[in-house]
Amino acid sequence: MAELFSEEWMQSFKEHWNSEPELSDALAQINFNSVIGYGFPGEDKPRGVITIENGKATAAGAYNGETMNWDLRATEEQWTKWMSKPPGMMGLGAAFTTGKIKFVVGDYKGMLKDPRMAGPFIKSFSVMGRA
For the stretch 2-24, pLDDT in tens is: 799 999 999 999 999 999 999 99
Residue type, 10: M
Element containing residue 115 per DSSP (H, E):
helix 115-128
Residue type, 86: P
For residues 101 and 51, give the distance between their C-alpha atoms in angstroms, rounded to a whole number: 20
Where do the domains of the chain lie? 7-128
Phi then psi dihedrals of residue 45, to 5 deg: -145, 160
User: What band does 33 get if pLDDT is binned at 50, 70 and 90?
Assistant: very high
* Whether the predicted pLDDT of 77 surpasses 80: yes
What's the pLDDT at 1? 57
CATH code of the domain made up of 7-128: 3.30.1050.10
Helices and strands counted in the chain (H then E): 6, 5
Which among 52, 85, 61 is positioned nearest to 7, based on CA atoms? Answer: 61
What's the pLDDT at 128? 94
**List of E strands, 34-117:** 34-39, 48-53, 56-62, 70-73, 102-105
